[in-house]
């Protein structure tokens, strides 16, 4: 198999901006941020909003943990480009088709009146929490990485709990 | 594209229960918890069990990290409703069909006697670790969010390592 | 439903190697590690490399956070077995077919010349960040768990930011 035989080149970069391993004071900062959505399946670029909270926290290096408080939403990373966002929507709509039979949507089995089994499954597959590094008072992201909050059962009001921790 | 043009309303809630950004004493607490499963594909609501460990840790605000120590399991969030759990099982069984051809199940390529390639792929897609916030000595969860441990190759004994950290 | 009725046996193991809940000095350590990939879809076992960084950090117990800085990659856990890796590739290639129509690959909608919508969707589904526990100066992993970096749009040079935090 090619995987095992690959001569991989590892280049380690000393990371000058990072705090070294000496003991440091641990800090924590929490905020709840809300969004009003207006489509059933909607993708929202929350990168700037998360960075504002990180800046406000006064924490320079550490982690930011994002947790959407709703099962029919998700938080994930991708490039923020209109054409690609269209593909993301199509992919999720095809992977879990709203019109398929689901017990959660069937009054014989369920008292859920929203008929949103597809929303639940999409949220479950994509995940509702995300941990990212904080470096130099900003979320560490690659050039093409944006943080996306996905609404799968809108329009609704949605809350995300943001926790910044570190030094 | 509607995504870019949306007027999103951001409401930021000052979170009174949270420790502010002053330096605080960092604490850590670790426990391994085991479950005996009795079906091949089984979903277990572990929310109460995780909350017990969080309470026992004495940590009020921070993070809890859950890590199942087995490739053929997963840990994720969804609503705990019988009808929906049935849909979750059906979705995972359809997404990765046990009876498909897999090299991992083929004695020509693999010495695995469990024929559990489907279990590996389900575990990989759903993920074996989960990070959640701890607030006021409890796991922060939305109204409908439960923590679910999924067994994909039972019956077995399964271990989850739980780490609570914070202040 | 069987899920709710199951008599689950919980066995809690006091974890002797773990630091107890007394306040301890918090430490952080960051490194960027690079890999040169040489296939379009390539799976790389990065477990040993991550463990080297953890050892070098001097941190005994805590967390290691891995974040690939590229949207067309992923980081996840699975068993490192040739036959299974073949199944993983086949599964991802079938779930998101490269030759499907995507707006991201269509010059009418997109200026992306790499025609890599499939790579973006694979990266999004599998996720680009992973949080794992550190115990006794090593990444905590079950017997069959390896950390896998997936290249979905190689050959390229790829960077992962590794943050070790704890005590």
CA–CA distance from C138 to each of A41, B159, C62, C124 (Å)?
41, 18, 10, 28
CA angle C114, A140, B17 (to 5 degrees): 135
Q: DSSP characters for B70-110?
A: -TTEEEEEE---HHHHHHHHHHHHHHS-TTS--GGG-TTT-
Calculate helix-pair angle for B117-126, A117-126, nearest 10 degrees. Answer: 90
- Is B73 a residue whose pLDDT tops 90? yes
Interface partners of chain C (CB pairs < 8 Å, 3 or more) are A, B
Contact B166 A96 (CB under 8 A): no
**Which ranges of chain A would DSSP assign to H, the alpha helix?**
2-5, 47-57, 82-95, 117-126
- Contacts with B86 from chain A: Cβ below 8 Å: 103-104, 109
Name the residue among A144, A44, B72, B16 with its Cα closest to residue C79: B72
Q: Is the pLDDT reported for residue B148 higher than 90?
A: yes
Q: Which of C82, C110, C165 sits opposite A81 (nearest CB)?
A: C110
Q: How far is A101 from chain C (nearest CA, A)?
A: 19
Average pLDDT over residues C7-25: 50
Q: Which residue of chain A is at minimal alpha-carbon distance from C115?
A: A84
Q: What is the ipTM of this complex?
A: 0.88
C-alpha distances in Å from residue B127, one per residue of A52, B28, C97, C131: 29, 24, 22, 11
Interface mutation target, options C124, C127, C134, C166, chain A, most CBs of A under 10 Å? C124
Cα–Cα distance for residue pair C36/A158, rounded to 1 Å: 40
**Record: contact B33-C24, CB cut-off 8 A:** no
Cβ-in-10-Å burial (0-12, 13-18, 19+) of B140 comes to buried
Contacts of C28 in chain B (CB under 8 A): none
d(CA C30, CA C160): 11
Please list every residue in chain A whose beta carbon sits closer than 8 Å to the beta carbon of residue C49.
Answer: 10
Tokens (6 digits) for C130: 């992973």
Residue B151 near residue B41 (C-beta atoms within 8 A): yes
**CA A82/CA A5 separation, integer angstroms:** 39
Token look-up 């969707």 returns C121
Q: Residue B30: enclosing H or E segment and its boundaries?
A: strand B27-36
Q: Sort out which chain A residues have CB atoms less than 8 A from B84's CB and list them.
A: 102-104, 110, 112, 117, 120
CB C121 within 8 A of CB A83: no
User: Is the pLDDT confidence value at C112 over 70?
Assistant: yes
C110 contacts A78? CB cut-off 8 A: no
pLDDT tens by residue, C30-48: 999 999 999 999 999 999 9
Q: B121: closest CA among B159, B95, B84?
A: B95
Q: How many Å apart are CA C21 and CA A60, to the nearest integer?
A: 26
Residue B155: asked if its preceding bond is cis (omega within 30°), the reply is: yes
Contact B33 C11 (CB under 8 A): yes
Is residue A8 over pLDDT 90? no
Measured CA to CA in angstroms, residue C80 lies from A3, B85, C40, C126, C155 at distances of: 10, 30, 19, 17, 21
| CA distances to A132, A152, A166, C120 from A85, in Å | 21, 14, 33, 10
Mean pLDDT of B86-108: 98
Looking at residue B22, what is its pLDDT? 54
The per-residue pLDDT for C161 is: 98
Give residue B9's pLDDT band: very low, low, confident or very high (50, 70, 90): very low
Q: In whole angstroms, what is the distance from residue A77 CA to residue A126 CA? A: 10
pLDDT tier, B2 (very low <50, low <70, confident <90, very high otherwise) = very low
Can you list the alpha helix ranges (DSSP code H) found in chain B? 2-5, 47-57, 82-95, 117-126
- Residue C18 — pLDDT band, cuts 50, 70, 90? very low
Give the pLDDT band (50/70/90) at residue B25: confident
Of C93, C64, C76, the closest CA to residue C127 belongs to C76
pLDDT for the residue C21:
52
Strand (E) or helix (H) holding B63: strand B62-68
**A18 confidence band (pLDDT: 50, 70, 90):** very low
Percent of chain C's residues with pLDDT above 70: 86
pLDDT band at B17 (very low <50, low <70, confident <90, very high): very low
Given a cut of 50, is residue A37 above it in pLDDT? yes
Q: Ramachandran region of residue C14, left (φ > 0), alpha (ψ -120 to 50) or beta? A: beta
Asked if A47 contacts A139 with a C-beta cutoff of 8 angstroms, the reply is: yes
The b/e string for C17-49 (b: 16+ C-beta within 10 A; e otherwise) is: ebbeeeebebbbbbbbbebbbeebbbbbbbbeb
What is the model's pLDDT at position C133? 98
Pairing mode of beta strands B73-78, C10-13: unpaired
Pick the closest to residue C69 from A10, A137, A141 (CA basis).
Answer: A141
Look at A8 and C161 and tell me if their CB atoms are within 8 Å: no
Query: Residues B38, B155: contact at Cβ < 8 Å?
Result: yes
Q: Does the structure show a pLDDT above 90 at A21?
A: no
CA distance B27 to C61: 11
Question: What is the pLDDT at residue A25?
Answer: 87
CB contact at 8 A, B71 and B128: yes
Q: Which residues contact A32 (CB under 8 A, 6 or more apart)?
A: A159, A160, A161, A162, B12, B13, B15
Quote the tokens at residue B65. Answer: 């990290």
pLDDT at residue B62 above 60?
yes
């Amino acid at each position: 198999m090619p995987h095992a035989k690959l001569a991989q080149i590892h280049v380690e970069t000393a990371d000058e901006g990072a705090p070294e391993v000496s003991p440091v004071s641990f800090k924590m900062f929490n905020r709840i941020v809300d969004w009003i959505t207006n489509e059933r399946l909607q993708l929202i670029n929350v990168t700037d909003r998360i960075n504002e909270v990180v800046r406000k926290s006064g924490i320079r290096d550490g982690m930011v943990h994002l947790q959407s408080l709703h099962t029919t939403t998700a938080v994930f990373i991708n490039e923020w480009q209109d054409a690609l966002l269209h593909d993301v929507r199509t992919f999720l709509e095809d992977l879990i088709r709203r019109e398929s039979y689901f017990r959660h949507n069937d009054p014989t089995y369920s008292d859920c009146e929203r008929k949103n089994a597809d929303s639940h499954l999409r949220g479950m597959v994509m995940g509702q929490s995300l941990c990212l590094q904080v470096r130099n008072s900003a979320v560490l992201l690659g050039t093409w990485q944006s943080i996306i909050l996905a609404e799968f059962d809108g329009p609704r009001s949605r809350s995300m709990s943001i926790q910044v921790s570190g030094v």
